[in-house]
Amino acid sequence: MRFLFGAGRPCLDFTRTVRERRGEMTEGLTLPADLARWVEEAALPVRLRAERLTSEDVETARRLREAVYDVVRARAAGRAPSAADVRLLNAHAAHAPPAPSLLPRGDGVEWAADDPLQAVLAFLARDAIDLAASPAIARVRECADPRCTSLFLDTSRPGKRRWCSAMPCANRQKVRAYRARRGSGGGGGSGEGGGAG
């Protein structure tokens, strides 16, 4: 599975490792290698080594991901999140996140963690807590494409963005709108296409 980024916060990108929660759910984190690859592609400070991860570690990450999704979604809708989800976020956030060290020449930073997985999950839990408790939560949206359940932070000036950054969602909407125009008597030849971006 190709991972999607661009949701506006690392914790929201993390929730996008599942697609189409309301339909045929596609799970992106099935193997330790998937989790390690997501962390690398997300450019998080600490890298994970797949050979040091277990299937239990992947399940732990998935549980946190679902708690992040449910807490953020509840807060964005003006509801209180479940106590169990809040406890899980707080438990992960209590661990040490990746620690920065200035390089000897002072021109760069390297990151370290005694327990890289725990540090990554702490980083993501803290990001989710920061988002859920901040005014920015009012700008969290769910993609308007009925097949997509991605959450994203709408940073557009008018605050009216409707689709996540995944091209298929906006393209499907363009195709639907194009077909609706043609079906309602537009008829014409090859004028404007249904547009792929």
Q: Is the pLDDT of residue 192 over 80?
A: no
Average pLDDT over residues 163-174: 58
Q: Is the pLDDT of residue 193 over 50?
A: no
d(CA 58, CA 31): 7
The pLDDT assigned to 29 comes to: 97
The average confidence (pLDDT) of the chain is: 85
The sign of the CA dihedral 60, 62, 68, 70 is negative
Contact (CB, 8 A) for 138 and 151: no
Higher pLDDT pick, 150 / 50: 50
Amino acid at residue number 46:
V
Average pLDDT over residues 113-129: 97
Higher pLDDT pick, 98 / 150: 98
Provide the pLDDT confidence category of residue 148 given band limits of 50, 70 and 90: confident
**How many percent of the chain have pLDDT more than 90?**
64
Contact (CB, 8 A) for 99 and 113: yes
Contact (CB, 8 A) for 93 and 129: yes
pLDDT in tens, 12-62: 999 999 987 777 788 999 999 999 999 999 999 999 999 999 999 999 999
26: enclosing H helix or E strand? strand 26-27
Q: Is the pLDDT of residue 186 over 60?
A: no
β-bridge pairing 151-153 and 140-142: antiparallel
Closest CA to 1 of 33, 49, 48: 33
Q: Is the pLDDT of residue 188 over 90?
A: no
The pLDDT assigned to 171 comes to: 57
pLDDT in tens, 68-86: 999 999 999 999 999 999 9
